[in-house]
Copies of this chain bind each other. A is one copy, B any other.
Amino acid sequence: MKYCAQCGGKVELKVPDGDNRPRHVCMDCGRIHYLNPRLIVGTLPVWQDKVLLCRRAIEPRQGYWTLPAGFMENGESAADGAQRETLEEACARVRVLDPYTLVSVPFIDQLHLLFRAELLDLDFAPGPESLEVRLFDEADIPWNELAFRSVTLTLRAFFDERRSGRFGVHHISLPPIER
């Protein structure tokens, strides 16, 4: 950030009075511009014994399989955002159930929030950001072709827990991937 979105003045990094970390502060109007983590919301859509996955048509991780999810928008609830992303990426209608996994990804300033969901019908299809949308049995999950670690751990938790029929809520913070 170099310029003030409010007045167009030059912005510098400094610690404001009463604060304890550097912020982008406008040298002209004094406005403080805070940068905060962004929320990714999505669903784990379930139909009988199967779960719905989307193969990504876009980067990052083009060609890999993911759960339908995307940036939460202003003016919507987390559950509404998760439902909207499921409709946009998989053209799928779901009933959103409870929050299931909450995955912090601090090195890219993201928080992923995935809800369990009930797929309402089989009229799904790839949206513009998906190449393919399919239902998978546990045995067929393409574990080595999943797009993101938050997807992998959500699917693992789900298949572990559904044997008991009792679902918890899972939170974890991911370290950077070492290559």
Contact = CB atoms under 8 A, between A and B. Distances in A.
Interface in A103-145: 104, 106-107, 109, 111, 113, 115, 128
Interface of A: 1-8, 11, 18, 21, 33-39, 71-80, 98-99, 102, 104, 106-107, 109, 111, 113, 115, 128, 168-169, 171, 173
Contact of A169 (B36, B39, B72, B169): B169
22 contacts: A1-B5, A1-B6, A2-B5, A18-B128, A21-B73, A36-B72, A36-B73, A36-B74, A72-B111, A74-B106, A75-B107, A78-B102, A78-B104, A78-B111, A78-B171, A79-B173, A80-B173, A98-B168, A98-B171, A99-B99, A102-B113, A115-B171
A36 to B, nearest CB: 5
So how many copies of this chain end up in the complex? 2
A8 B2 contact: yes
A73 B18 CA distance: 16
